[in-house]
């Protein structure tokens, strides 16, 4: 089992939250693999994690054709697109952005090259171009802030100042912002503004994990899923 935190980060106070969805999701850029998880400490991303929706066969999309190899694909092809995104804890909504389009997805290396070349331009355009449609919630228990990004256009159900409960639907998964295919990006921060906040380590409660190496499911009461694992939330034991 992977360490919860790299050695240099042990002793940091982890924030315990719930997985922000139902169903099965593939883990990418897990902080159980490396920290910083996304290769940078900027934008509060030090311990960020990505979840890509999958079906019961752990496929991210049910269709593969010439577009998969050579071009872009409509986001509707992907299992994650439109799935509910839930609040990972009790808190208060402090920021909402819901004005970015859901763009075409890219699995093709040919389509990824021009997209990568546009990265600097997206950074210059600000948070909307990077995080896409997103929600920031101030978590009551820890006093930290959780950001959920790349949400579907016009799907956000909450507004600033609104109180939300753990497991309440706040939006749907989209492909907005700096995203190559529909997924949910989650990070916990010490402030509400990702451009100045620092990332905070987190741990998830009550989930089933199919590790990438063995594929044998195990139920975990608390932890950080490993890179390439598939996870789904489970009910807390009574």
Residue 8 lies in a domain: no
Position 30 pLDDT exceeds 80: yes
Provide the number of structural domains found in the chain.
1
Q: How far apart are CA 146 and CA 165, in angstroms?
A: 13
Check pLDDT > 70 for residue 162.
Answer: yes
Q: What is the pLDDT of residues 35-50, one digit of tens each?
A: 999 988 988 999 999 9
In order of 67, 182, 200, the CA distances from 150 in angstroms are 22, 7, 20
Three-class secondary structure of residue 11 per DSSP: coil
4 assigned to some structural domain: no
Q: In the chain, how long is the greatest CA-to-CA distance?
A: 51
Residue 151 located in a structural domain: yes
Q: Which pLDDT score is estimated for 2? A: 39
Has residue 53 been placed in a domain? yes
Q: State residue 229's pLDDT score.
A: 97
CA–CA separation, 30 and 42 (whole Å): 16
Dig out the tokens for 55 from the structure: 């079906």
Tell me the per-residue pLDDT of 180-215, one tens digit each, with 9 for 90 and over. Answer: 899 999 999 999 998 899 999 999 999 999 999 887
Q: Residue 1 corresponds to which tokens in the numbers above?
A: 């089992």
Burial zone of 106 (CB within 10 Å; 0-12 exposed, 13-18 middle, 19+ buried)? buried
Determine which helix (DSSP H) or strand (DSSP E) holds 148, and give its type and residue range: strand 145-151
Entry pTM: 0.90
Question: Does a structural domain hold residue 3?
Answer: no
Domain annotation covers residue 238: no
Q: How is residue 152 written in tokens?
A: 């579907």
- Containing domain of residue 95, as a range? 13-233
From CA 182, how far away is CA 99, in angstroms rounded?
Answer: 16
| Residue 79 belongs to some domain of the structure | yes
Considering Cα of 44, then 144, then 88, then 222, what sign does the dihedral take? positive
> For residue 119, what is the enclosing H or E element?
helix 119-125
Q: Could you tell me the CATH number of the domain that includes residue 136?
A: 2.70.70.10
Q: Is residue 146 part of a domain?
A: yes
For residue 123, is pLDDT > 90?
no
Q: What is the pLDDT of residue 195?
A: 87
């Amino acid at each position: 089992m992977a360490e919860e935190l790299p050695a240099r980060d042990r002793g940091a106070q982890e924030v315990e939250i719930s997985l922000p969805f139902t169903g099965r999701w593939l883990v990418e850029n897990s902080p159980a693999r490396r920290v910083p998880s996304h290769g940078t400490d900027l934008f509060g991303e030090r311990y960020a994690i990505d979840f890509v929706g999958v079906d019961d066969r752990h496929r991210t999309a049910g269709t593969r054709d010439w577009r998969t190899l050579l071009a872009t694909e409509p986001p509707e092809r992907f299992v994650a697109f439109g799935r509910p995104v839930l609040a990972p804890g009790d808190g208060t909504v402090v920021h909402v952005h819901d004005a970015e389009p859901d763009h075409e997805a890219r699995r093709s290396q040919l389509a990824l090259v021009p997209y990568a070349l546009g990265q600097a331009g997206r950074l210059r355009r600000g948070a909307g171009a990077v995080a896409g449609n997103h929600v920031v919630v101030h978590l009551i228990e820890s006093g930290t802030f959780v950001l959920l990004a790349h949400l579907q256009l016009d799907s956000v159900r909450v507004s600033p100042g609104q109180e939300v409960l753990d497991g309440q639907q706040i939006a749907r998964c989209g492909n907005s912002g700096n995203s190559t295919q529909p997924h949910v990006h989650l990070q916990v921060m010490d402030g509400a503004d990702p451009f100045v906040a620092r990332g905070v380590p987190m741990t998830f409660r009550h989930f089933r994990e199919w590790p990438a190496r063995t594929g044998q499911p195990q139920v975990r009461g608390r932890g950080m899923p490993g890179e390439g694992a598939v996870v789904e939330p489970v009910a807390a034991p009574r």
